[in-house]
């Protein structure tokens, strides 16, 4: 009998928001693409798993906030660990994020 190894990765919804942002901010394309690649191959079941890939990510209920591109950009997502889904809510420059959180 063969054992089936289940490899359940995270599903990112939706990459379109990333693309829309890097059209306006071309320097963001490379770091956002790198984030997407890592996240799309992740097997996160909790915040500790996420921190192994992104140690500087902050959880500010209900959002997880990622510093992207050497702290130039902020990516705001909602992570549903139980369903292995990451919902992209916002992508900001650092200055836009500061205004948003105020």
We report the CATH number of the domain holding residue 36 as 3.30.2310
For residue 5, pLDDT beyond 80: no
State percent of the chain over pLDDT 90. Answer: 84
DSSP 8-state secondary structure symbol assigned to residue 9: P
Residue 4 has a pLDDT of: 45
Cβ atoms of 87 and 77 closer than 8 Å: yes
Q: Is the pLDDT of residue 20 over 80?
A: yes
Instruction: For residue 82, give its domain range.
Output: 11-101
pLDDT the model gives residue 10: 82
On whether residue 64 sits in a domain, the answer given is: yes
Using CA atoms, how far apart are residues 54 and 63, in angstroms rounded to an integer?
A: 15
Q: How far is CA 53 from CA 21, 34, 70, 101, in A?
A: 23, 12, 15, 24
3-state DSSP helix/strand/coil percent for the chain, to nearest 5? 40, 30, 30
Task: Judge whether 2 lies within some domain.
Answer: no
4 is a domain residue: no
| 46 falls within a domain | yes
Q: Domain count of the chain?
A: 1
């Amino acid at each position: 009998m063969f054992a089936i190894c289940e490899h359940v990765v995270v599903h990112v919804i939706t990459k379109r928001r990333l693309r829309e942002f890097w059209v306006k901010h071309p320097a963001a394309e490379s770091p956002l693409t790198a984030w997407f690649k890592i996240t799309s191959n992740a097997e996160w079941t909790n915040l500790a798993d996420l921190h192994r890939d992104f140690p500087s990510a902050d959880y500010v209920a209900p959002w997880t906030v990622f510093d992207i591109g050497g702290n130039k950009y902020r990516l705001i997502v909602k992570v549903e660990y139980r369903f292995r889904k990451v919902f992209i809510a916002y992508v900001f420059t650092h200055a836009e994020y500061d205004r948003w959180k105020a």
